[in-house]
Amino acid sequence: MRLLVVEDHDALARSIKRALEELRYAVTVVNDGEAALDALLTESYALAILDIGLPTRDGIEVCRAARAHGVGATILMLTARDGVDDRVRGLDAGADDYLVKPFSIEELLARVRALLRRAERPVAPDVVSVGEVRLDRAARTATVHGAPLELGATELRLLEYLLTNAGVVLTRQQILDRVWEYEYEGSGNIVEVYVSQLRRKIKKAGAADLIKTVWGVGYQVVTAHQRVEG
C-alpha cells in the first residue's frame, strides 16, 4: 500500500517514513506544496500525510486543489495550529482528519491504521434520507434537493452515522468511537467542530437544520416535523 508524506521538517519526515516502512507501507516523501500536488495528481496513494505549513504552497491549498481534481486519497493533515478556524479550514478543503503538533509517532500510526480501515470497509448499497438530505452509501455521495453536497470522507461518515440513527440521541463518545474508531487524545471538541462544519454545509445548501444539540449529552437528527432547537 502506497502512502505519501508531505513534511518540510527533514527529521520529522524521516521519523514518519521509518515508522511507516516498519509497518510494510511503501512511502514517498516530498517536502513542498508543489511537489505534493504533483505527486497526488500523477500517482495513486491510499493515504497522504500532509503538513499545513509548507514551502511554495501550503497544505490547505494542496488539499483543496487535489480534491478539485478528483483525488480520492485519504488525507491526514498535520498542523502546529490548534485553533478552531484552522481546523475548519482544513476540513473545508477536504481533509479527512487532522493531528496537532507535537504528536507521538504511536498516535500518528494509530490514525493512519484507522483511516485506512475506514477506506477499505465495504458499505451497504442503500440510500438513507432525512428531509432534503439524501446519502447514497454505495456511491459515497450526499445531496440536498438533488444537488451534490461536497463533504470530506470524515464528514460523510458522520452524516451517515447521524442519518442512520435519526431520532436517536447519540452521545459524543458514541460518535467518536464510531466515526473516528480509535482512542482520540487530541482536541476535546473534535466532534463539535465536525458537527458545526456539517451543519454549516447543509444549511448553505438550502436544507433545514436536521441536527439537534442535546445539551450535556450529544446530538440527534430530527425529521422535518420536529422542531430543531440545537
Q: Has residue 230 got a pLDDT over 50?
A: no
Q: Classify burial at 185, counting beta carbons within 10 Å of its beta carbon; exposed 0-12, middle 13-18, buried 19 or more.
A: exposed
The label of the residue with cell 490514525 reads 111
Whether the domain at 2-120 and the domain at 127-221 fall into the same CATH topology: no
Confidence of residue 76 (pLDDT cuts 50, 70, 90): very high
Distance of CA 172 to the CA centre of its chain: 17
Confidence of residue 107 (pLDDT cuts 50, 70, 90): very high
Architecture of the domain whose range is 127-221: Orthogonal Bundle (1.10)
Confidence of residue 227 (pLDDT cuts 50, 70, 90): very low
Is residue 48 a contact partner of residue 80, using CB atoms and an 8 Å limit?
no
pTM: 0.59
pLDDT of 229 reads 35
Report helix, strand or coil for 49.
Answer: strand
- The C-alpha cell at 211 is 441536527
- Tell me the CATH number of domain 2-120, given options 3.40.50.300, 3.40.50.2300, 3.30.1360.70, 1.20.1250.20: 3.40.50.2300
Q: Domain extents for the chain? A: 2-120, 127-221
